[in-house]
């Protein structure tokens, strides 16, 4: 097995199939969260849909989250007069059934049942308000930073990642991030990888990862990222603070040395045995692809 075959197998082991218990639980919990929001905001008709790694195609088994966007019409005030009101009211709605952890622009839901208190559902709810009737750009409340709001566009974010041509590299480097406990946010890491691989999307996976690590090791101070949905209006420089840059550079240096000294398996470990869900899905795909042979009693014989 060569390096790229190995990396492909690592990716396969990190793929959540449609039949996996994790994805089924996510989808069930997503439906329950949506019901809570629609019941509470029945007068507002919010748009509720997938965002994050599920929509972008960059989800990995080892660190999977589901972003649920909950965007209100631009002229709606029933959900709240201000963006902060919308954010707080969404938290109030969710707290009827969940333990809610507040993030700068999102709300993390966890189990409120005393028997499973605090168990993470891997779901973030992101409330916002559309800027106009076109329902494309949206304003989000932001608890940190100089401004209390940012203007963004979910579809632009999704397309930027999905159409980058480097989603496999993103998934592997997200796994590297998790395994090394790096503090960089997934969103910032995605933007970094896409920028660094602009001219490398046709290279092999091993070449792409090596290129990213070399750039992080040697040129971390020269790298800047911007919000593809609002490059001049949103300052996301705080996502690449000095401490995060130093950590990324150090981790990349270690990764390059580890690969050179001990090979790729020292980074991602041995290829995991396929789970029961993965084996079933593979068998189902194989069965579906089989062309029914001509029967011996066929009149065409």
User: Which positions ≥6 away from 2 have C-beta within 8 Å?
Assistant: none
Structure token digits, residue 276: 């029961």
Number of residues assigned to the chain: 301
Neighbours of 48 (CB within 10 A): 17
pLDDT of residue 90: 98
Coil, helix or strand at residue 222: helix
Each residue's pLDDT, cut to its tens digit, for the chain (301 residues) gives: 899 999 999 999 999 888 888 889 999 999 999 999 999 999 999 999 999 898 999 999 998 888 999 999 999 999 999 999 999 999 999 999 999 999 999 999 999 999 999 999 999 999 999 999 999 999 999 987 667 889 999 999 999 999 999 999 999 999 999 999 999 999 999 999 999 999 999 999 999 999 999 999 999 999 999 999 999 888 888 889 999 999 999 999 999 999 999 999 999 999 876 545 544 555 454 444 444 443 433 333 3
CA distance 143 to 226: 19
pLDDT of residue 296: 38
Question: Are the beta carbons of 78 and 44 closer than 8 angstroms?
Answer: yes
pLDDT of residue 145: 65
Topology classification of domain 3-268: Poly(a)-polymerase, middle domain (1.10.1410)
pLDDT of residue 297: 35
Q: Give CA torsion, residues 193, 195, 201, 207, to 10 deg.
A: -50
| Domain boundaries along the sequence of the chain | 3-268
pLDDT of residue 237: 85
User: Which positions ≥6 away from 187 have C-beta within 8 Å?
Assistant: 239
CA distance 236 to 224: 9
Coil, helix or strand at residue 174: helix
Question: Are the beta carbons of 14 and 175 closer than 8 angstroms?
Answer: yes
Q: Which residue, 175, 187, 169, 162, is CA-closest to 240?
A: 187
User: Which positions ≥6 away from 155 have C-beta within 8 Å?
Assistant: 136
pLDDT of residue 273: 65
Taking each continuous run of H as one helix and of E as one strand, the counts in the chain are 11, 7
């Amino acid at each position: 097995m060569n390096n790229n075959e190995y990396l492909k197998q690592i990716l396969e082991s990190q793929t959540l199939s449609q039949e996996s218990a994790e994805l089924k639980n996510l989808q069930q919990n997503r439906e329950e969260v949506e019901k809570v929001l629609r019941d509470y905001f029945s007068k507002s008709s919010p748009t509720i849909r997938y965002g994050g790694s599920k929509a972008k195609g960059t989800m990995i088994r080892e660190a999977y989250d589901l972003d649920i966007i909950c965007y209100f019409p631009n002229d709606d005030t029933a959900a709240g007069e201000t963006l902060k009101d919308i954010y707080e009211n969404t938290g109030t709605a969710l707290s009827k059934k969940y333990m809610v952890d507040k993030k700068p622009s999102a709300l993390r839901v966890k189990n409120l049942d005393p028997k499973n208190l605090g168990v993470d559902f891997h779901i973030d709810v992101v409330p916002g308000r559309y800027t106009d009737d076109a329902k494309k750009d949206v304003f989000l409340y932001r608890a940190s930073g100089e401004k209390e709001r940012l203007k963004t566009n979910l579809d632009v974010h999704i397309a930027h990642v999905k159409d980058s041509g480097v989603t496999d590299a993103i998934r592997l480097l997200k796994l590297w991030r998790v395994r090394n406990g790096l503090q960089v946010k997934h969103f910032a890491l995605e933007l970094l990888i896409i920028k660094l691989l602009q001219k490398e999307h046709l290279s092999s996976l091993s070449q792409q990862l090596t290129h990213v690590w070399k750039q992080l090791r040697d040129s971390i101070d020269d790298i800047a990222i911007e919000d593809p949905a609002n490059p001049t209006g949103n300052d996301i420089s705080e996502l690449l603070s000095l401490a995060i840059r130093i950590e990324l550079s150090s981790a990349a240096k270690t990764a390059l040395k580890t690969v050179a000294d001990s090979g790729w398996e020292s980074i991602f470990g041995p290829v995991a045995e396929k789970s029961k869900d993965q084996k079933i899905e593979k068998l189902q795909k194989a069965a579906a692809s089989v062309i029914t042979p001509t029967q011996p009693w066929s009149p065409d014989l």
